[in-house]
Chains A and B, each alone.
Chain A
Amino acid sequence: MPNVAAPVLDVQGLKTVFKTRGGEVHAVNDVSFSLKPGELLGVVGESGSGKSVTMMSLLGLLPSPPADIRRGTVMFDGKDLLKVKPQTLRAVRGGQIGFVFQDPMTSLNPVYTVGMQIMEPLRKHMGLRKAAARNRAGELLELVGIPDARRRLDDYPHQFSGGMRQRVMIAIALACDPKVLIADEPTTALDVTIQAQILDLMLELREKLGMAVIWITHDLGVIAGIADRVLVMYGGQIVEHAPVQDLFRDPQHPYTRALLKTIPTISGERAKRLTVIEGQPPLMMDAPASCPFRARCDVAFDRCARENPPRFDVGHGHDAACFYDARTGGPRNA
């Protein structure tokens, strides 16, 4: 990976709030990260921690109201996507930036055939004619491993299994050879062998097209297998960021450490009972004034209740938002 290359996507200080009847929900708080060409960035974190909202914010996919993007810049191709005109954003989305969102059951339109839905971006963004688009759609469906792909272009989504619908979504996202692919839990409905094929396909496309990928998942095994760098989110913030080897070998944030302990394994001793992270996630009704993980943290101390920890650099491209220094086993000197 060329480390010096300028990022294809650079997000700084993103903050997204939902205005609801019950008050505000501070879903994304001061999130910053960047993505280099051809890089595979993994994103993990608790359910409700703001992973999807972060990605939907930067693609302008959240209805406003209730969503309010309060701050931040999202630089892509020399432009700030939070400032460009809606039609410019629409041209980027599904074209140069492909995306697959959670929940394929609701993301495919039940009244159109699968083929029509794959052909749509090809006609809209690449200006392909109908026959060419159909041909390419068949190729794409084959690429994601659907048996008998060309015949199945005329099927409707309900005739596909859960995992097949998910692969249709991936095919749509890849349709226009995107520079960046944002994939939000794209393989939850796939079995491990097909997941392995899809992951191989991602690695191949990054080699061939230099496509950069943001991969959101709950599966730490997938992260371990394909990510270059990893973001860990908790309570609307990035709490840890590290190259993949360092994250697993030397996790710094107490949430990451707890998370790594919860994974059941396929070999070795079978646990009588699965480990869970005790306690409840934060409500996020206000901008955080203390560490969001404090109530569940096993090493919290007084400072954690007074300030929200910033991301501390711990060296080698690794940072953690925690006042406790896991390496010295005491409060951080900062």
Chain B
Amino acid sequence: MLDQTRKPLVRVRDLKMHFPIHAGLLRRRVGEVKAVDGISFDVMEGETLGLVGESGCGKSTCGRAVLRLYDITSGEISIDGREIGALSQGKLRPIRPTMQMVFQDPQASLNPRMTVEAIIREPLDEHTKLSAAEKRDKVAELMDAVGLNRNFAKRYPHAFSGGQRQRIGIARALALNPKFIVCDEPIAALDVSIQAQVVNLLEDLQEQFGLTYLFISHDLSMVRHIATRVAVMYLGKIVELAPREALYRDPLHPYTKALLSAVPEPDPALARSTERVILKGDVPSPSNPPKACNFCTRCPAVMDICKQIDPEYQEVQPGRFVACHLHTDPTTTAG
């Protein structure tokens, strides 16, 4: 349950990450992809914030920007009380250990020429002054923590199944005792039973080490299982953020409604009969987003105002944020 006394570990305000578009012979800058376009949220200490939304809406960019894997366009990011939005990469180095990332594709993110032991040890080599023996012990401990047999330490990644490889990635992310981990679709490529193993593992580790997660996923049923609160993104912006139960029981934003209705039902009779909101209309491009509400080109509930005024992202019920004219108080949008 959401514990109101918890304090935010991560605080993001009006974060923007725009990528330049170059074209022509001289590769002139002709515009920009507004991958993340002004988003604000907190991640409370010890919670899991789920991040869902359409492919290409900026989830990975958001996760990477929050960890400062990019030099951001603008905005504030504070982690554990320290403002890191504008820090240089050199100044970030000592802070890096507290924040880590687990990637979607374990295959591509593990060096095939390194043994499992070397992969997990790499961050220790880079950021600590532990002795060789201490490192060996730490690696063995980490392998235990993620449920990998210590005897596999000398094996190479290709000898492991997808689920085991994902554990290697998690063990490496844990090596420096981080507080905050961004999981970018950590289970997308795994089979259901192994997905369940990895999610159970992430939950155990969270309990054991008091970890805080930003959990990016397309799998809305998994997010329902793991997340404390859920943020829904559309075209570079957060359109809704709410505690898990409230969001699934009573989604407020029309995009959230469409998203939840499109979840495939694992039952052929239901799957073929349930009413789905199929989104029609043009999918706008992040280099040329609509002038007002980003969802107005596809929204089933679109009104005139939606094409004129960008709805403000605001708290409409305690703990529930939404950016939609259907839910904004007319007195606040009048101006």
User: Could you give, for residues 258-284 of chain B, a 1 whenever the CB lies within 8 Å of some chain A CB and a 0 otherwise?
Assistant: 111011111111111000101100111
B5-41 interface with A by 8 A CB criterion: 19, 23, 33
B285 within 8 A of A: yes
In contact, B190 and A47 (Cβ under 8 angstroms): yes
In contact, B193 and A259 (Cβ under 8 angstroms): yes
Residues in chain A near residue B108, CB distance under 8 A: 103, 105-106
A299 within 8 A of B: no
Partner of A190, one of B55, B197, B270, B272: B55
B54 within 8 A of A: yes
Partner of A147, one of B262, B270, B285: B285
In contact, A162 and B192 (Cβ under 8 angstroms): no
Please, how many angstroms separate the alpha-carbon atoms of A194 and B218 in the complex?
Answer: 11
Q: How far is the CB of A279 from chain B (nearest CB, A)?
A: 10
Please, how many angstroms separate the alpha-carbon atoms of A194 and B234 in the complex?
Answer: 13
A276 within 8 A of B: yes
Question: Which positions in B face A, CB cutoff 8 Å?
Answer: 19, 23, 33, 52-57, 60, 104-105, 107-108, 161-163, 185, 188-197, 199-200, 203, 218, 220-222, 224-225, 248, 258-260, 262-272, 276, 278-279, 282-285, 287-288
- Find the residue from B56, B190, B272, B284 having the highest chain A CB count within 10 A: B56
Please, how many angstroms separate the alpha-carbon atoms of A219 and B195 in the complex?
Answer: 11
User: Could you give, for residues 22-64 of chain A, a 1 whenever the CB lies within 8 Å of some chain B CB and a 0 otherwise?
Assistant: 0000000000000000000000011110000000000000000
Please, how many angstroms separate the alpha-carbon atoms of A178 and B227 in the complex?
Answer: 41
Residues in chain A near residue B218, CB distance under 8 A: 163, 188-192, 195
Q: How far is the CB of B284 from chain A (nearest CB, A)?
A: 6
Question: Which positions in A face B, CB cutoff 8 Å?
Answer: 45-48, 102-103, 105-106, 145, 147-148, 154, 159-164, 167, 185, 188-197, 200, 218-225, 244-245, 248, 258-260, 262-267, 270-271, 273-277, 281
In contact, B263 and A162 (Cβ under 8 angstroms): no
Residue on B nearest A245 in the bound complex, by CB: B268
Please, how many angstroms separate the alpha-carbon atoms of A148 and B167 in the complex?
Answer: 38
In contact, A163 and B56 (Cβ under 8 angstroms): yes
Q: How far is the CB of A244 from chain B (nearest CB, A)?
A: 5
Please, how many angstroms separate the alpha-carbon atoms of A223 and B195 in the complex?
Answer: 17
Please, how many angstroms separate the alpha-carbon atoms of A188 and B185 in the complex?
Answer: 9
Residues in chain B near residue A264, CB distance under 8 A: 196, 221-222, 224-225
Residues in chain B near residue A106, CB distance under 8 A: 107-108
In contact, B193 and A224 (Cβ under 8 angstroms): no
Please, how many angstroms separate the alpha-carbon atoms of A270 and B197 in the complex?
Answer: 16
In contact, B276 and A196 (Cβ under 8 angstroms): yes
Residue on A nearest B160 in the bound complex, by CB: A48
Q: How far is the CB of B278 from chain A (nearest CB, A)?
A: 7
In contact, B265 and A224 (Cβ under 8 angstroms): yes
Residues in chain B near residue A197, CB distance under 8 A: 278
In contact, A192 and B56 (Cβ under 8 angstroms): no
In contact, B190 and A221 (Cβ under 8 angstroms): no
Contact of A161 with B225 at beta-carbon distance under 8 Å, contacts A47-B190, A262-B196 already known:
no
In contact, B55 and A164 (Cβ under 8 angstroms): yes
Please, how many angstroms separate the alpha-carbon atoms of A150 and B108 in the complex?
Answer: 29
In contact, A164 and B192 (Cβ under 8 angstroms): no
Partner of B60, one of A162, A195, A271, A274: A162
Please, how many angstroms separate the alpha-carbon atoms of A193 and B279 in the complex?
Answer: 8
Contact of A191 with B191 at beta-carbon distance under 8 Å, contacts A47-B163, A224-B265, A270-B224 already known:
no
Residues in chain A near residue B199, CB distance under 8 A: 274
Residue on A nearest B159 in the bound complex, by CB: A22
Q: How far is the CB of A200 from chain B (nearest CB, A)?
A: 8
Residue on A nearest B56 in the bound complex, by CB: A161
Please, how many angstroms separate the alpha-carbon atoms of A223 and B266 in the complex?
Answer: 8
In contact, A148 and B285 (Cβ under 8 angstroms): yes
In contact, A192 and B220 (Cβ under 8 angstroms): yes
Which 5 residue pairs across A and B have the least CB separation, nearest first? A163-B55, A221-B264, A274-B196, A148-B285, A225-B271
Please, how many angstroms separate the alpha-carbon atoms of A56 and B74 in the complex?
Answer: 46
In contact, A225 and B52 (Cβ under 8 angstroms): no
What are 20 A-B pairs at a CB distance below 8 A?
A: A46-B194, A48-B161, A103-B105, A147-B56, A159-B19, A162-B104, A163-B218, A189-B218, A191-B53, A191-B218, A192-B262, A195-B262, A221-B271, A222-B264, A225-B264, A225-B265, A245-B268, A248-B266, A260-B266, A267-B248
- Find the residue from A48, A162, A260, A270 having the highest chain B CB count within 10 A: A162
Residues in chain A near residue B195, CB distance under 8 A: 218, 274
Please, how many angstroms separate the alpha-carbon atoms of A188 and B222 in the complex?
Answer: 14
In contact, A248 and B267 (Cβ under 8 angstroms): yes
Q: How far is the CB of A69 from chain B (nearest CB, A)?
A: 21
Residues in chain B near residue A270, CB distance under 8 A: 224-225
Residues in chain B near residue A188, CB distance under 8 A: 188-189, 218
In contact, A189 and B221 (Cβ under 8 angstroms): no
